[in-house]
Structure 1
Amino acid sequence: MLFKSLTKYDTDLFYLLHRPTIKRDCRAIIWMSKTGDGYLYFVIGMLLWAFEQEHGELFLSAALMAYALELPVYVILKKMFRRPRPCDLLADMTAHVTPSDKFSLPSGHTAAAWLMASIEAHFYPSFALLAYSWAALIGLSRILLGVHYPTDVIAGMLLGVTIASLSLFILG
């Protein structure tokens, strides 16, 4: 009963957030989502490693360790939950983008964005608000594009923050 109730609220919130994007130009939302594809993380890590002497090398080490831990956990969770994406499950719904895989829980873009934001905030606290705002926008973009439910995004956020914290703890 509780699960059905949670699913209903999740679906209702999805529709509330996604509906305004129907038949709209979503290029800005797609662009925001694409900043979470992973290429930007690599560029940031390499630039900091090359040019930022104080924390750059440790930042890159922490990020590489975190992503090496996050990716297998993410894949296991996707295969374990096997939750269909809203664009595949809901009859009156079409996504604005083609998802990279079949399942939605957790949101990988959101997990990666919150992981990166958490590591950035740890090493560069003055950028924390910017980093977390960007991660939140990536998560929101995944809902607006029709490929994730709000709980997928929340689960992705929790996964990213948890793995980042674990990596930072391991590195001391």
Structure 2
Amino acid sequence: MNKIQQWDQRVCRLCLLHPYNRPLARASRLVSHSGDGPLYLLVAALLWQQGSRGQDTVEAALLAFALELPLYLLLKNSLRRARPSGLPVFITPSDRYSLPSGHTAAAFLMATVLAASYPEWTSVLFAWASLVAASRLLLGVHYGSDLIAGALLGMGCAKLALGWGQG
């Protein structure tokens, strides 16, 4: 087992094998749901009504997701990393593989795009994205390195999309 796998196993055991894992999983489920697609659609609809700044933000987010989704699927289906096993799991994941975390990628993508247009919300946006990422670990469906990879994927695609219009 390599160093990353050892670290992932230790972090998962620490986060999932304690007496408060069930109450923590209930809260994590709510946070994780905030990283599902419907919230992004609602935010996009609200932003679109705000004029050109909001519309530019929505367009950047759409471009970022157009970059992120195929890369996410390619990575997930090429790497085929098994999800954590032998530990408590509190939800049924939507697919078989864990690397990268799609919820984390989407949350960090949105936080990056929104923070570029609304910098006064940067700390709140990245705190929320970090909580979405942590919730996936606390629900037993991802390793820590899955979250890091997802965050890098989401932020990278957002940065590409944001830079696209500046060229």
Interval of TM-score (by shorter of Structure 1 and Structure 2): over 0.9
Paired residue for 2:118, among 121, 124, 149? 124
Mapping 1:1-172, distance limit 5 Å: 4-20=2-18, 21-24=20-23, 26-50=25-49, 52-86=50-84, 90-91=85-86, 93-172=87-166
Length, aligned pairs only = 165
Report the TM-score, using the length of structure 1 for normalisation. Answer: 0.92
Which moved further from structure 2: 64-73 or 107-116?
Answer: 64-73
Q: How big is the shift at 1:94?
A: 2.8
SS of equivalent to 1:94: coil
What SS does the aligned partner of 1:26 have?
helix
- In structure 2, what is the Cα distance between the partners aligned to 1:46 and 1:24? 33
Cα shift at 1:23: 4.0
Q: Which residues of structure 1 form unaligned runs of 5+?
A: none
RMSD: 1.3
How far apart in 1 are the matches of 2:109 and 2:127?
A: 13
Higher RCO structure (Cα 8 Å, ≥6 apart)? 2
Question: 1:54 offset after TM fit, Å?
Answer: 4.4
* 1:112-142 C-alpha deviation (Å, 9 max, x unpaired): 0000000010000000000000000000000
- Deviation string 1:127-163 (CA, Å, 9 cap, x unpaired) is 0000000000000000000000000000000000000
Alpha-carbon offset, residue 19 of structure 1: 2.2
CA contact (8 A) 2:91 2:139 kept: yes
Cα distance, 1:7 vs structure 2: 0.7
TM-score (norm. length: structure 2): 0.94
Q: Distance in 2 between matches of 1:25 and 1:151?
A: 21
Percent identity for Structure 1 against Structure 2: 43
Amino acid at match of 1:131: L
Residue aligned with 1:143, SS = helix
